Amino acid sequence: MSTVVGGWKVWSWGERAGVIVLAASVVLLVWAAFQYGGGQDVAFFALFGALVAGITGLGVHVASREARFRRQSRPCRR
């Protein structure tokens, strides 16, 4: 089983969606951290939301990747 990523064509839609959600949550996390550091106490909720979205995105990506590896290792029946 090869774990090398060969580009976007190899990844399933779940893997792609997970990475997109994870990347967006990183941007939101950085923005919210600066806002919270600047004295905007309401930005704490954005920090919490970004953390939850990041964990969710990572989970979707890993679960989809594991499902793809399981499908590829299963023998084909015809």
In this prediction, residue 11 carries a pLDDT of 85
Q: Tell me, letter by letter, the H, E, C secondary structure of the chain.
A: CCCCCCCCCCCCHHHHHHHHHHHHHHHHHHHHHHHHHCCCCCHHHHHHHHHHHHHHHHHHHHHHHHHHHHHHHCCCCC
Q: What would the pLDDT profile of 4-28 be if each residue is shown by its tens digit?
A: 555 657 888 999 999 999 999 999 9
Q: What would the pLDDT profile of 20-52 be if each residue is shown by its tens digit?
A: 999 999 999 999 999 999 999 999 999 999 999
In this prediction, residue 16 carries a pLDDT of 93
pLDDT bin (cut points 50, 70, 90) of residue 1 is very low
The more confident residue out of 78 and 50 is: 50
